[in-house]
A and B are shown apart, each in its own frame.
Chain A
Amino acid sequence: MKEQRLKPTLVNSLLMLPALLLLAIVFAWPLLDSAWLSTQASSVLTGLTPLANGGANWQRLLGDARFWQDAAVTLRFAGVSVALELLLGLAMALLLHQPSRGRGWLRALTLLPWALPTTVLALGWRWIYNDPYGPLNAILRACGAAPFGFLTTPASTWLFTVLADVWKTTPFVALLLLAGLQSIPAELEESLVLEGASPLQILRRLTLPLLRPWISLALLFRLAQALGVFDLVQVLTRGGPAGSTESLALYAYLNAMRFLDFGYSATLVIATFLLLVLLTALGWLLLRRRPLELS
């Protein structure tokens, strides 16, 4: 037979090749292309054709107050929402792990916010936050309070954008942690129970240490996604008011699609990417002292 004459490594590589090729085109090439474009002036003033301009885009980036504000907004958004998601996700996972009737349904229903399109849900949240007709203001009214403009001031808009994100992505974190919980042998917990450990002690001494790899995974994944937050802010707030919810990704998008400045957009893309690499590497080092076991 033909395949026996080929080396196994060659066969395996050939099998992997088409998928890896597509991945290279869609992930590696864009990054290289954007990195190159970040050294070019390519905007409406150059008739949208690239002209080398050295480090001018990067120089502009360093002096761009809006870039720094957006970077701060993005970091703060990612930090706070990921922290909340991990906490809530852990609680949710513990709840979903408990044996009970209808557990499958409960899991599925809890998962819904994660499974539905972000733009659809962002539109929904915009209505929920509506001043004065949204349900939250209806509740406030019923309590005798004055209506509140949830998306009016920078501080509250930022807070309620985080809330919408937490609601949407916590189920995903919960699901990952649930997987972790399922991998913990039940006997371990039983033996601790026999020793007379309280549920809190079990959580601290057994569950959390063993969940650590899953928490790291969830953290890395969510951190990377949150640093690229785009769909939610684009539909819910469009970055306003006063740029208080403008993420780096949204700024990069606006530069390309509205300002027609591709060179600068690419610079922002690469800057965001570098930030992402830096932070995930940092998170990886902090949370995963031993190397990842992949085999």
Chain B
Amino acid sequence: MKSLLLLWSLAPLAWQLYTSLVTPEALVQGGGVEAGAFWTLENYRQVWLADPPIWRYLLNSAVVGAATTALTLTLAVPCAYGLQRQGGRLGWLVTLALLATAIFPTVLLFLALLQLARALGLANNLLALSLPYAALCLPLAVLLLRAAFADLPPDLEDAARLEGLNLPRRLRHVLLPLLAPSLASTAILVFLFSWNEYPIALTWISRPELLTLPPAIARIAGSSLFTVPYGAFAAATVLGSLPLLLLVLIFQRSIVSGLTQGAIKG
């Protein structure tokens, strides 16, 4: 059963990896190619040296991801704290609103956000893109962190208050260090989201050199007029997946526990 599960999950990915590493002839003819003409790194060379090169998209995505993560956590931590301490009717309403926005499909926002970008001159700006991204990530981040705050022993903060620490210092020196695991898994999930977001990036970014990875890949997909260079496509998809693949594998425990803990408490 487990190998079946792995096959189901990984076979399509493995096929991309394979495609990216063989010559077009090998791809079309299968095994009937002479040994020297089978494996190749040419596809990677091609996307690496393309105009604009793929590392540019990866860099853009990383910039947006980092900015989004920083902004989201900055806004989510106080909000989660306030929400957890608040409780009651107001807290219930806010939580309900957060849940509703958390399940909301973001594509329905593209039209109005396009006008917003135009009106405020936020188009073609990677840091500006992190504003809507942060908003889209906030519901999940706040819900996860609220659950984490709820988990902390209440005496702890009272003790810190008695020692004369004000709120920012209590957060900074007492609460946040204990929250580090939750912060980390939230950060990773936010980064994942912003790395993968497509419709808003598609409408906010029009300059080729500023594209993030998802619209860039989609554009590559739509640009095959004269040839169908699947090897190069595959190389692009592998390079585009690699950072996330590493992130997921290295922090698998954080991600899984972050999501499951959040779901249990939220």
* Contact present between A and B (CB < 8 A): yes
B111 touches A269 (CB 8 A): yes
A160 adjacent to chain B (CB < 8 Å) = no
A228 touches B259 (CB 8 A): no
A267 shortest CB reach to chain B, Å: 10
B146 shortest CB reach to chain A, Å: 10
A120 touches B241 (CB 8 A): yes
Task: Specify the chain A residue showing the minimal Cβ separation from B79.
Answer: A19
Cα of A26 to Cα of B112 in the assembled complex, Å: 9
Cα of A7 to Cα of B116 in the assembled complex, Å: 36
B237 adjacent to chain A (CB < 8 Å) = yes
Partner of A280, one of B96, B103, B139, B198: B103
B49 adjacent to chain A (CB < 8 Å) = no
B230 touches A12 (CB 8 A): no
A217 neighbours in B (Cβ, 8 Å): 263
A121 shortest CB reach to chain B, Å: 7
Most buried by B among A26, A112, A167, A238: A26
Given A3-B167, A26-B109, A33-B112, are A116 and B245 also a contact pair (CB < 8 Å)? yes
Partner of B112, one of A29, A116, A183: A29
B97 neighbours in A (Cβ, 8 Å): 20, 23
User: Chain B interface: which of A56-64, A194-202, A248-256?
Assistant: A248-256
A45 adjacent to chain B (CB < 8 Å) = no
Cα of A295 to Cα of B84 in the assembled complex, Å: 9
Partner of A257, one of B81, B109, B203: B203
B39 adjacent to chain A (CB < 8 Å) = no
B111 touches A37 (CB 8 A): yes
Task: Specify the chain B residue showing the minimal Cβ separation from A92.
Answer: B5
A124 touches B96 (CB 8 A): no
Task: Specify the chain A residue showing the minimal Cβ separation from B170.
Answer: A3
A249 neighbours in B (Cβ, 8 Å): 105, 107-108, 199
A68 neighbours in B (Cβ, 8 Å): none
Partner of A34, one of B75, B107, B112, B218: B112
Partner of B109, one of A16, A30, A235: A30
A179 adjacent to chain B (CB < 8 Å) = yes
Partner of A272, one of B27, B96, B108, B142: B108
A194 shortest CB reach to chain B, Å: 26
A26 touches B105 (CB 8 A): no
Interface residues as binary, A88-117 with B (CB distance below 8 Å gives 1, 0 otherwise): 000010010000100011111111110111
Cα of A263 to Cα of B147 in the assembled complex, Å: 41
Partner of B263, one of A9, A135, A176, A262: A176
Given A12-B85, A231-B214, are A105 and B252 also a contact pair (CB < 8 Å)? yes
B78 touches A19 (CB 8 A): yes
User: Which 5 pairs across A and B sit closest by C-beta, in order of nearness?
Assistant: A228-B105, A30-B112, A108-B252, A15-B82, A26-B135
For the complex with contacts A171-B9, A252-B111, A294-B96, 12 further pairs of A-B residues with Cβ separation under 8 Å are A12-B82, A12-B90, A16-B83, A18-B75, A111-B252, A112-B9, A115-B245, A117-B195, A123-B217, A123-B218, A127-B16, A253-B107
Question: Footprint of B on A, CB under 8 Å?
Answer: 1-3, 8-9, 11-16, 18-20, 22-23, 25-27, 29-31, 33-34, 37, 92, 95, 100, 104-113, 115-128, 130, 133, 135, 138, 167, 171, 175-176, 178-180, 182-183, 214, 217, 220-221, 224-225, 227-231, 234-235, 238, 249, 252-253, 256-257, 262, 265-266, 269, 272-273, 276, 280, 292, 294-295
